[in-house]
Amino acid sequence: MNSASSAHVLAALGRSRELGFLGPTPLERQYEHSLGFVAALDAAGISPPRRVVDLGSGGGLPGLILALSWLESEMTLLDGSTRRCEFLEEEVTILGLEGRVSVQCGRAEELARDPLLRGSFDLVVARSFGAPPVLAECAAGFLGVGSHLLVSEPPQAETGDGTRWPAEGLELLGFSPVVMVENASRYALMKLMTPCPDRYPRRVGVPSKRPLF
């Protein structure tokens, strides 16, 4: 990403913070953390994805940064808040990303069953979307076999002992065991080995009320 793009996206993040969509962490640090998704995929030997969906993109992270980093990728920014989706649509236009970046407003449990979206992405990314079982269940429906889920891990998370991402639970959804990738931050990476079963994700609210693991 060139310096002009960096300045523009930092301005977008500033507007996001003014609207209350981003927390108090310095914007430069949040920007660098989003670039960590790029480094994590590189470290795992995975090529830049063709189609990406950012779950819970609301404040623009990491989706806007990734869209400006993976210039050949199609990016879908997904959020359940109409207000945040309106912000994202405005920023997509301001940053000149129309045609390659789209915004989907709605619940992931429902959109993962949309025939135009189900099983059609090479990568799902997420930052602060929800607890691991909720995220895994919602993400699996968007992915094709051989595609990946890449998740930003909180600093206090366990160090790869499987507590947050148990292999047995991930297998229910078709995922391989998790691999932890570390750079300045930590990311959980898992691959969809078999198609997500038709019954997942369950209807809105059920993944959080009755988590799979």
Query: Tens of pLDDT along 109-165?
Result: 999 999 999 999 999 999 989 999 999 999 999 999 999 999 999 877 655 556 899
> How far are the Cα atoms of 106, 179, 202, 213 from residue 166, in angstroms, in the given order?
28, 11, 19, 7
- In this prediction, residues 19-25 reach a mean pLDDT of 95
**Domain ranges, residue 199:** 3-209
Q: What is the pLDDT of residue 208?
A: 97
Query: Tens of pLDDT along 38-79?
Result: 999 999 999 999 999 999 999 999 999 999 999 999 999 999
Give the domain CATH number at 69.
Answer: 3.40.50.150
Q: What is the pLDDT of residue 5?
A: 84
Rounded to whole angstroms, the Cα distance separating 126 from 183 reads 17
Over 90: is that where the pLDDT of 34 sits?
A: yes
Over 90: is that where the pLDDT of 183 sits?
A: yes
Over 70: is that where the pLDDT of 3 sits?
A: no
- In this prediction, residues 163-179 reach a mean pLDDT of 96
DSSP states along 101-121: EEEEES-HHHHTT-TTTTT-E
> How far are the Cα atoms of 54, 108, 152 from residue 81, in angstroms, in the given order?
14, 11, 21
Element containing residue 33 per DSSP (H, E): helix 27-43
Total number of domains constituting the chain: 1
> How far are the Cα atoms of 25, 87, 154 from residue 67, in angstroms, in the given order?
22, 16, 23
